[in-house]
């Protein structure tokens, strides 16, 4: 019996090896064996995983296994920009390793090997690509030669150690449909690709080579893009098993849910002219309007839309937008349910209750409501004013400030809840509000001083951001934010120009915990006539009931009386972490 079992096992293993040797056929069969499409891999970028230990890596791989994935793409492994030096995320003999990074390449390969994943390693990238691309062939070819040095190092350092895990190469340079419309530009592109293609083929002819271009319907037509790639394929030395995996461009806004299918249909025709080349889709999991996670009904529609045309699907990027390791457990649970059952759940959240609304001296309307319940979980809320949705972005906490309300105007507000699958609840009971007369923002356009300069990456070079009247949205990527990372309190003092009667002071702050941005423990408010002697007029602690969601929170003191002064100062206790502030208002 044991001999028969061993023989059966041997034959099964042999069959698996034969199938794997067939290249793109096995990928397609693996992808098509389900009755519904799923993403089989995800990109991971260095900023997300810099501090991950083995336990965190293994937890991520467990989540990805639950989601039906088997591939990881780490890119880039080397980066440069603005003529600066190339820096790597692994110990290099030719380039300087990026400060503050461990050997991320070894980290991911070691943990992927333990978890049974296949890894594509990205080569180099230079931020000047966006301004130079094919218009500077000499520069481009020099970067491809640099990529060969990177490939050589990566292969020699890691392949023998992780030969069953270090699976393929990723060409990081993103090709669009605007900068390569001319035949000579397409030829330059193909020859540049060949510099890397031919080199990695010499290193190991079995390792697939992947690239992920993108497209924008505002600057071109699908048929022209199809012809562009057919021209590139004629010159580029793609081999059987190499992978052409266009970004579906839905998240980034280049395409939309109405037209992305047409682009993939014609690109399938282009790929079919290159024998043995695999056609994958890189499905985007985000919404570029605010860099939030896309609802899963949109993501699943993206998967279903490309399924008739592609051999496989990966994502940019499950780990960044749907993983519990970045606080997205609700998305993960909902998607895993889809992976198992082939349909998204359709149970909407409960209707939000206890909607409260009030308006203050700024004529803004503050809304608060009780949290909704869902069979898996709520991801946010939609606020309606006079039957029209106020924002395209879901509101994360159970609170919202409507700053677009006009003074002395009546409004009707309602709130609904949305889950990760995109199911929306019934709207709450309506709340009617009459806004009061507007009190002028005395700080708008006024100069101010700071006790500590903002960090260079989140600076206020012109010294106007705090009083320009522009409030930042809930992402640190918004340039309206000032950011500081200090182990002591910092302060801002605004000069109103003359002594004014003051009834309230406020400032807006950001919470984005996945990147270490926290709300202040306290904000203290002061007033002065001479900018030397200050009197404390109020203090606000971090509000109770703040969830861990990314959000903006306004700290304010209101209802002041008999307060007069020319200089208004706020002092922020940032708890020794990143603190982001956007606007200081005095009324």
Q: Could you tell me if residue 441 is inside a domain?
A: no
Domain boundary among 293, 311, 341: 341
282: its two tokens: 């890189």
Instruction: Express each pLDDT in 204-215 by its tens digit.
Output: 999 999 999 999
Whole-number pLDDT of residue 200 = 98
Same domain flag for 548 and 477: yes
Q: Which candidate, 566, 509, 569, places its Cα nearest to that of 537?
A: 569
Using alpha carbons, list the distances in angstroms from residue 492 to 453, 495, 531: 10, 10, 12
Which regions of 339-477 does DSSP assign to beta strands (E)?
A: 353-359, 365-370, 378-385, 388-389, 399-402, 410-419, 431-434, 448-450
Instruction: State the average pLDDT over residues 98-113.
Output: 97
pLDDT of residue 8: 40
Residue 577 to residue 201: CA distance in whole angstroms? 47
**Which range marks the domain in which residue 578 is found?**
448-586
Residue 443 within any structural domain of the chain = no
Domain end among 434, 461, 494: 434
The answer to whether residue 375 sits within a structural domain is yes
Residues 305 and 452 in one domain: no
Q: Do residues 326 and 363 both lie within one domain?
A: no
- pLDDT band with cut points at 50, 70 and 90 for residue 391: confident
User: What stretch of H or E contains 558?
Assistant: strand 551-558
Q: Where does a domain end: 292, 318, 341?
A: 341
Tell me: the pLDDT tens digits for 31-50? 445 689 999 999 999 999 99
Q: Are residues 427 and 482 in the same domain?
A: no
How many domains are contained in the chain? 3
Number of CB atoms found within 10 A of residue 9's CB:
10
Residues 57 and 142 occupy one common structural domain? yes
221 lies in the same domain as 112: yes
Backbone angles phi and psi of 205, in degrees to 5 = -70, -10
Band of the pLDDT at 277, cuts 50, 70, 90? very high
198 and 80 inside one domain: yes
pLDDT at residue number 463: 87
- Among positive and negative, which fits the CA dihedral 540, 544, 545, 550? positive
The residue written with tokens 């929306």 in the block is 424
Supply the pLDDT for residue 522.
95
**Quick one: pLDDT at residue 20?**
39
Please report, for the domain that includes residue 537, its CATH number: 2.60.120.1190
DSSP one-letter string for 487-546: SS-EEEEEEEEEEEE-SEEEEEEEEBGGGTB---SEEEEEEESSSSS-EEEEEEEPPTT-
CA 116 vs CA 17, 26, 282, 313, 468: distances in Å = 16, 18, 22, 19, 53
Amino acid 561: pLDDT: 86
500 and 571: one domain? Answer: yes
Residue 439 lies in a domain: no
Q: What is the CATH number of the domain that holds 159?
A: 3.20.20.80
User: Domain containing 430 — which CATH number?
Assistant: 2.60.40.10
Give the 3-state secondary structure of residue 4: helix
Q: Looking at the structure, do residues 67 and 158 belong to the same domain, yes or no?
A: yes
Q: Is residue 43 in a domain? A: yes
Q: What share of the chain in percent tops pLDDT 70? A: 94
Q: How far apart are CA 189 and CA 177, in angstroms?
A: 12
pLDDT bin (cut points 50, 70, 90) of residue 551 is confident
Average pLDDT over residues 274-292: 94
- C-alpha 178/C-alpha 400 separation (Å) is 40
Is residue 11 in some structural domain? no
Both 290 and 333 in one domain: the answer is yes
Q: What are the Cα distances from residue 168, in Å, to 74, 210, 272, 570?
A: 11, 8, 22, 54
Domain membership flag for residue 203: yes
pTM for the whole structure: 0.78
Indicate whether 346 belongs to any domain: no
Q: Give residue 289's pLDDT.
A: 83
Antiparallel, parallel or unpaired: β 504-511 and 378-385 = unpaired
- Residue range 430-449: mean pLDDT, rounded: 93
Q: Are 188 and 63 within one domain?
A: yes
Is 305 a residue whose pLDDT tops 70? yes
Same domain, 129 and 186: yes
């Amino acid at each position: 019996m044991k001999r028969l079992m061993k023989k059966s096992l041997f034959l099964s293993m042999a069959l698996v090896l034969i199938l794997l040797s067939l290249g793109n056929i096995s990928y397609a069969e693996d992808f098509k064996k389900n009755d519904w499409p799923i993403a089989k891999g995800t990109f991971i970028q260095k900023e997300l995983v810099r501090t991950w230990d083995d336990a965190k890596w293994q937890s991520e791989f467990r989540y990805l296994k639950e989601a039906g994935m088997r591939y990881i793409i780490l890119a880039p492994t080397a980066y440069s920009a603005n003529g600066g030096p190339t820096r790597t995320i692994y110990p290099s003999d030719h380039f300087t390793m990026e400060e503050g990074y461990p050997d991320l390449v070894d980290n991911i390969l070691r943990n992927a090997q333990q978890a049974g994943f296949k890894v594509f390693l990205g080569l180099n990238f230079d931020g000047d690509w966006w301004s130079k691309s094919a218009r500077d062939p000499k520069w481009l070819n020099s970067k491809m030669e640099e990529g060969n040095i990177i490939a050589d190092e990566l292969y020699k350092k890691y392949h023998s150690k992780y030969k069953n895990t270090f699976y393929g190469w990723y060409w990081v340079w993103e090709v669009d449909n605007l900068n390569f419309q001319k035949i000579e530009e397409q030829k330059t592109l193909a020859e540049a690709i060949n510099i890397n293609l031919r080199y990695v083929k010499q290193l190991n002819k079995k390792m697939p080579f992947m690239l992920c271009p993108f497209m924008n319907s505002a600057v071109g037509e699908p048929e022209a893009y199809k012809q562009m790639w057919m021209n590139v394929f004629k010159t580029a030395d793609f081999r059987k098993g190499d992978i052409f995996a266009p970004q579906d461009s839905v998240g980034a806004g280049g395409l939309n849910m109405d037209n992305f299918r047409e682009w993939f249909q014609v690109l399938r025709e282009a790929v079919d002219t290159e024998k043995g080349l695999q056609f994958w889709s890189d499905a985007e999991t985000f919404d570029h309007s605010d860099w939030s996670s896309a609802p899963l009904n949109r993501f699943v529609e993206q998967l279903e839309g490309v399924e008739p045309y592609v051999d496989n699907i990966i994502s940019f990027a499950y780990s960044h937008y749907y993983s519990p390791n970045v606080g997205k457990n609700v998305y993960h649970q909902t998607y895993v349910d889809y992976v198992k059952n082939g349909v998204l759940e359709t149970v909407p959240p409960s209707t939000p209750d206890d909607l409260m609304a009030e308006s203050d001296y700024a004529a803004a309307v503050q809304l608060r409501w009780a949290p909704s319940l869902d069979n898996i979980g709520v991801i946010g809320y939609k606020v309606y004013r006079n039957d029209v949705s106020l924002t395209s972005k879901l509101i994360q906490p159970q609170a919202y400030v409507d700053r677009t309300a006009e003074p002395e105007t009546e409004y009707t507000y309602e709130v609904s809840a949305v889950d990760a699958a995109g199911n929306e609840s019934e709207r709450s009971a309506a709340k009617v509000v009459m806004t009061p007369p507007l009190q002028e923002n005395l700080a708008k356009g006024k100069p101010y001083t700071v006790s500590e300069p903002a960090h260079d990456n989140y600076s206020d070079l012109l010294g106007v951001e705090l009083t320009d009247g522009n409030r930042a949205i809930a992402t640190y990527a918004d340039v309206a934010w000032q950011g500081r990372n200090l182990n002591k309190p910092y302060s801002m003092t605004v000069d109103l120009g003359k002594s004014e009667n003051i009834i309230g002071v406020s400032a807006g702050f950001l919470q984005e915990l996945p990147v270490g941005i926290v709300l202040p423990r306290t904000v203290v408010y002061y007033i002065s006539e001479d900018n030397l002697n200050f009197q404390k007029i109020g203090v606000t602690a971090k509000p109770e009931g703040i969830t861990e969601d990314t959000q903006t929170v306004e700290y304010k003191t209101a209802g002041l009386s008999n307060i007069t002064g020319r200089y208004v100062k706020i002092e922020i206790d940032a708890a020794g972490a990143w603190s982001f502030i956007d606007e200081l208002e005095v009324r």
